[in-house]
């Protein structure tokens, strides 16, 4: 009985193991044709290909509206076929779910269309069909597609009464749409489409993350070991890290040297309100924001506000010159390691300016405050100025 159970389990895994075992040998071919496009030499690009556990991009020359991509993928993946358009900021793009199969793509070139292409049709990819059934299918089954079309027409006519009625109807259809999506996911727990859907709905809170991760852990082992699953688990971990620096969390302590080499710790400011500002001398938006921070400091320092600036510069001279030019009187610190600054890494800083307002207990009470929003938050904390 035990042997029979093992055999049954092995057979259930065959579709997945078939893909992963042969994925290195099998390949895809995309045969594309775009009608009505101007006949000239034009490159077509295929991006977000999952190959050798990383995202890659290929390109081929299109001739008379026809092009062919050949290659392999480690696993099914949502890719973008795009064409750069002269004089247009964004390329003409077409999305499809790629797998190791013979896939046909057809479309019509139309400059009046949103993406410069219309009548897009993809055949040959089972996973693409599943993805269409999930999203476009749910739109049709819930009636939201008809409501959307009617709303566009009403908008053109400027029929506000009809637009309001359709907005109300869409609320009911949205419930049907959401139920349809959830039912599809429940019925297809081990589809790559289900996995991709999960990658789009990372929960924002700890309880949601725990439940979400538990659901992922129940999926097929091959799916859990995929590149897509690895990115989802990484996103879960990053979200957990972000919760540690969200308003309501206790601020993470750090230490950095000031311009004289003296070590300054965030915990030195415990018992005070401190505005921690991440910036750099080369950052134009940061320099534009500095006058607002200076004004906030001048207005609220006497009421108990402290400012601690952390620079992600890697050149001491440029850092100190910017401090002098912008007239920043508060404590300035930096380990001069650029984006590898240890404090900025603790606070997951990927773009600047970035900031956190911390109360006397060491709790983060606000973040991302800029311009007038900074002043209003400080008025909320300290009261309005006389």
> What secondary structure does DSSP assign to 145-212, as a single string?
HHHHHHHHHHHHHT-HHHHHHHHHHHHHHHHHHHHHHHHHHHH-TT-HHHHHHHHT---SSHHHHHHH
The answer to whether residues 194 and 275 belong to one domain is no
Domain's final residue, options 104, 123, 142: 123
> Lowest mean pLDDT: which of 13-27, 80-94, 179-193, 339-353?
13-27
In this prediction the pTM is 0.77
In a domain, 160, yes or no: no
Asked if 262 and 286 sit in the same domain, the reply is yes
In a domain, 314, yes or no: yes
Q: Are 373 and 295 in contact (CB under 8 A)?
A: no
Cis upstream peptide for 239 (omega within 30°): no
pLDDT value at residue 25: 65
- Please give the biggest Cα pair distance in the chain: 83
Higher-scoring residue by pLDDT: 151, 11: 151
How does residue 386 score in pLDDT terms, banded at 50, 70 and 90? low
pLDDT at 131: 96
Same domain for 261 and 378, yes or no, is: yes
Would the pLDDT of 3 be above 70? no
Question: Does residue 17 sit within a domain?
Answer: no
Q: Does residue 19 register a pLDDT over 50? A: no
Q: Which residue has the higher pLDDT, 179 or 22?
A: 179
- Same domain, yes or no: 279 and 361: yes
Would 148 be classed as within a structural domain?
no
**3 occurs within a structural domain:** no
Same domain (yes/no): 290, 357 = yes
Residues 232 and 284 in one domain: no
Please tell me whether residues 230 and 343 are part of one structural domain.
no
Domain that holds residue 78: 28-123
Of all residues in the chain, what percent carry a pLDDT higher than 70?
93
User: Given pLDDT bands bounded at 50, 70 and 90, which one contains residue 112?
Assistant: confident
Choose one of 201, 216, 244: the last residue of a domain.
244
CA pair distance 202, 195, nearest whole angstrom: 12
Grade residue 87 by pLDDT with cuts at 50, 70 and 90.
confident
């Amino acid at each position: 009985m035990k042997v029979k159970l093992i055999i049954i389990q092995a057979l259930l895994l065959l579709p997945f193991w078939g893909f992963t075992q042969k994925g290195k040998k099998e390949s895809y071919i995309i045969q594309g044709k775009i009608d009505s496009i101007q006949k000239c030499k034009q490159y077509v690009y295929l991006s977000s290909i999952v190959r050798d556990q990383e995202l890659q991009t290929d390109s081929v020359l299109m001739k008379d509206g026809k092009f062919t991509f050949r290659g392999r993928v480690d696993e099914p993946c949502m890719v973008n076929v795009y064409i750069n358009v002269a004089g247009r900021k964004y390329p003409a793009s077409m999305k499809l779910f790629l797998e190791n199969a013979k896939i046909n793509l057809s479309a019509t070139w139309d400059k009046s269309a949103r993406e410069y292409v219309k009548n897009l049709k993809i055949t040959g990819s089972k996973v693409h069909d599943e993805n269409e059934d999930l999203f476009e299918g749910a739109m049709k089954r819930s009636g939201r597609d008809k409501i959307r079309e009617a709303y566009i027409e009403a908008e053109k006519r400027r029929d506000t009464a009809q637009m309001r009625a359709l907005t109300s109807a869409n609320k009911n259809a949205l419930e049907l749409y959401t139920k349809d999506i959830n039912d599809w996911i429940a019925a297809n727990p081990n589809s790559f489409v289900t996995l991709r859907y999960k990658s789009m709905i990372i929960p924002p809170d700890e309880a949601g993350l725990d439940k979400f991760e538990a659901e992922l852990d129940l999926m097929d082992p091959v799916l859990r070991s995929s590149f897509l699953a690895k990115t989802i688990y990484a996103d879960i971990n990053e979200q957990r890290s972000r919760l540690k620096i969200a308003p309501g969390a206790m601020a993470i302590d750090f230490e950095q040297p000031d311009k004289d080499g003296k070590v300054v710790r965030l915990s030195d400011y415990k018992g005070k309100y401190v505005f921690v500002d991440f910036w750099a001398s080369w950052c134009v938006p940061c320099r534009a924001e500095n006058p607002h921070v200076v004004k906030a400091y001048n207005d609220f320092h006497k009421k108990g506000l402290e400012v601690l600036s952390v620079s992600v510069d890697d050149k001491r001279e440029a850092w100190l010159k910017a401090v002098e030019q912008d007239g920043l009187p508060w404590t300035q610190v930096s380990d001069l390691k650029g984006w590898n600054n240890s404090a900025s890494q603790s606070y997951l800083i990927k773009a600047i300016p970035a900031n956190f307002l911390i109360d006397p207990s060491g709790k983060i009470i606000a973040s991302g405050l800029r311009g007038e929003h900074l002043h209003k938050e400080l008025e909320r904390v300290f009261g309005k100025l006389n």
